[in-house]
Every structure is written in structure tokens, then in C-alpha cells.
Amino acid sequence: MYAIFEDGSRQYKVSVGEVVKVDYRGGDDGNGAASGTAVEFSNVLLVANGSNIKIGQPLVSGAKIVGEVVDHPSTKTYIGKFRRRKNYRRLRGHRQYFTSVKVKEIIGA
């Protein structure tokens, strides 16, 4: 069984037990949702169970994906600019935050 859902402006194909990286789920205080917190995605575009496929127009009514937050990993990417013989070096870093969610259940109507 798998499903395709939309979160933000991206679409994800998931099965039960998979871990998917979605846009950062944080509170107003800047802290992310705690590990183990339940998350629901209700913008389900397609649910497939074997040969039984339900395609929404645009959404499958009554379908949702239930998961739990695993963590908020992030690595820093460094961008460097350099001009030879000119003593010009610039180093800038960027950290893109996201949330890892483990899919617990796919509820298809």
C-alpha cells in the first residue's frame, strides 16, 4: 500500500514505515515539534492498495496519512567565493531545516 500526498508545494510518495523529509514543522518559539509527536497529512492525492487505486480530483475524500516526528536533522552547506591573486575570499553558510516523519498509517476512504 502506498499513497501520494502534498505538503507545502511538494508531493511525496510514501508507504507505511518509511521516513520522509518534509518542510520544517516548528512552533512560534523556534523549537521544532518534539520527537514522537503525531502528524497528520490530509492532502492525499492518491491511495493505492494492490490493484485498488483511488485517485482524488484533486483530493481523496476521507483519506489521511498519520505519522510521527522522528527528528529535525540539518547539515550546514558552505559556499565559497575566491579570486586568485587578489586576496579575495568569502565564505557563507546556509542551513536548511526540515523534519523527518515516519509514516505509521495510511487511512484510505
Reported as a single tens digit per residue, the pLDDT across 79-108 is 999 999 999 999 999 999 899 999 999 998
* Res 30: pLDDT: 62
Kindly write down the DSSP assignment for every residue of 69-104, as one continuous string: EEE----EEEEEEEETTTTEEEEEEEE--EEEEEEE
Angle 65-12-101 (CA atoms, 0-180°, nearest 5)?
55
How is the chain split into domains, by residue range? 2-72+100-107
* Res 74: pLDDT: 86
Mean pLDDT on 64-84: 94
Reported as a single tens digit per residue, the pLDDT across 5-49 is 999 899 999 999 999 999 998 765 667 788 888 999 999 999 999
